Amino acid sequence: MKKFTVAALALTTLLSGSAFAHEAGEFFMRAGPATVRPTEGAGGTLGHLNGFDVSNNTQLGLTFTYMATDNIGVELLAATPFRHKAR
Q: What is the pLDDT of residues 18-46, one digit of tens each?
A: 556 778 899 999 999 988 887 765 555 55
Q: Is the pLDDT of residue 12 over 80?
A: no
Q: Which residue has the higher pLDDT, 34 or 84?
A: 34
pLDDT of residue 72: 92
| Strand order through the sheet with 57-67 | 27-36, 57-67, 73-79
Indicate the pTM of the whole model.
0.51
Q: What are phi and psi of 82, to 5 degrees?
A: -90, 145
* CA dihedral of 68, 70, 71, 73, whole degrees rounded to 10: 30
Q: Is the pLDDT of residue 17 over 70?
A: no
Q: What are phi and psi of 65, to 5 degrees?
A: -125, 135
Residues 6+ positions from 52 with CB-CB distance below 8 Å: 40, 86, 87
